[in-house]
Amino acid sequence: MIRFSWLQFRAQAVAALGALAIVAVALAVTGPHLNHLYDTSGVATCHARGDCASVATTFLNQVPADQILYYLGIAVLLAAPPVIGMFWGAPLVTRELETGTVRLAWTQGVTRTRWLAVKVAVTGLAAMVTAGLLSLMLTWWSGPVDTAAALKTGYSISFIRIGPVLFGARDIMPVGYAAFAFALGVTAGVLIRRTVPAIAATLVVFAAVAIAWPLLIRPLLIAPVHAIVALTPASISTSLAAGPGGSEIVMPVASAVPPGSWVLSTRTLDSTGHAFNAATVPACQGSSPSQALACQATLGRLHLRDLISYQPASSFWPLQWYETAIFLGLAALLAGLCLWRIRRQAS
């Protein structure tokens, strides 16, 4: 059955191998130059000199073409698991149901449970290997840009490795996502029994899980770190310049949290520990420069504090392991559900 599953999967495997080869060539051509620029830019040693933001910006400005490839790489890695789920997972059983070949397959000398188990194992393993190789190549290639972008953009969450965008597109996480999306596709196919609706269901459910997960589940796995930062007249001045009149006074958190952290929330508290609202301070209602100065002076006397909740960069690897394991576990559960269902299901 393993050999036959492989025979059936051959065409898709060749297509996947082709896609991987194209990515590999593109990255092999551009990667060494990118690494060379990074090594000479001084980004790696910027902490000692304290000029990280400027050298990172200089480095990134040197590689505009590579930035396009960088964004493409993120897109490819984020899209690979749902695409695998939709086009390898969902049709795995439904195509055979729709063309009637289950009547051929299920009357060979192999029970249908074994038939499905082997098909899921062979194709699922291929899905994980594909996603793993893709992630391995892109994580290596993107390393310099990841590092520089995190330094440059400060508290923008987009290009922090532990942030919601990059986390699923780096290191081992794509393997977990691919296994889960594939099993989700197979399950949708086994339950819905028609290819197109199963593909749609796979996409919707996977997208919902992938979007909700970082916000709802990740904080439960490793609790975010809280930092309390007292607001001084000087720090308020910077934040007012960024956005006066807001109900929260956001100070540049890059200076308050370790670099590479994903800031989840910032709340401003007054001296009694309650949420502070700038609208209640009469001095802060105007918008002229002189009024802004008066507001800043008033706020400086209120002993305000910012409560910052963030996920530090050091949680990256523990979270990668936890979440990959969880998604692999979910994939195994779904595969078990499919096997249980197919045993009871008529053709």
Partner 1 sequence: MSTVIETRGLGKKYGRRWALRDCTLAIPAGQVVGLVGPNGAGKSTLLHLAVGLRTPTLGVITVFGGRPADSPAQLGRAGFVAQDTPVYARLSVADHLRMGAWLNPDWDGELAARRIERLGLDPHQRAGSLSGGQRAQLALTLAIAKRPGLLILDEPVASLDPLARREFLQDLMEIVAEHEVSVVLSSHLIADLERVCDYLVVLIASQVQLAGEVSELLAEHRRLSGPRRDPGRLPASQEIVEETHTDKQSLLLIRTSEPILDPAWAVTPVSVEDLVLAYMRRAGSAGGARRPGLEVVS
Nearest distance in Å: CB 4, partner 1: 5
347 touching partner 1, by CB under 8 A: yes
Per-residue contact string for residues 10-39; x = within reach of partner 1 by CB under 8 A = -x----------------------------
101 touching partner 1, by CB under 8 A: yes
* Strand order from edge to edge, sheet including 305-311: 225-230, 305-311, 262-269
Nearer to partner 1, 103 or 303 (CB): 103
Task: Specify the stretch interacting with partner 1 by CB under 8 A; choose among 3-11, 55-63, 220-228, 281-289.
Answer: 3-11
Interface with partner 1 (CB under 8 A), residue from 1, 60, 138, 162 = 1
Q: Beta-strand (E) ranges in the chain? A: 225-230, 262-269, 305-311
112 touching partner 1, by CB under 8 A: yes
- Tell me how many degrees the CA angle 105-107-110 measures, rounded to the nearest 5: 75
277 touching partner 1, by CB under 8 A: no
106 touching partner 1, by CB under 8 A: yes
8 touching partner 1, by CB under 8 A: yes
DSSP designation for 276: P
DSSP designation for 109: S
C-alpha distance from residue 311 to each of 144, 167, 244, 249 (Å): 22, 12, 27, 20
- Burial (CB count <10 Å: 0-12, 13-18, 19+), residue 177: buried
| 16 Cα distance to chain centroid | 22
108 touching partner 1, by CB under 8 A: yes
* Tokens describing residue 176: 């977990």
103 touching partner 1, by CB under 8 A: yes
341 touching partner 1, by CB under 8 A: no
104 touching partner 1, by CB under 8 A: yes
Helix 112-153 × helix 173-192 angle, to 10° = 140
DSSP designation for 26: H
* Tokens describing residue 345: 């299901």
266: phi then psi, degrees, rounded to nearest 5: -135, 125
Nearer to partner 1, 62 or 345 (CB): 345
Nearer to partner 1, 100 or 243 (CB): 100
193 touching partner 1, by CB under 8 A: no
Which residues inside 161-190 make contact with partner 1, applying CB under 8 A?
A: none
CA-derived radius of gyration, the chain = 26
* Tokens describing residue 234: 């000087």
Nearer to partner 1, 11 or 65 (CB): 11
Task: Specify the stretch interacting with partner 1 by CB under 8 A; choose among 81-89, 93-101, 216-224, 305-313.
Answer: 93-101
Residues that bind partner 1 (CB under 8 A): 1, 3-4, 7-8, 11, 99-104, 106-112, 344, 346-347
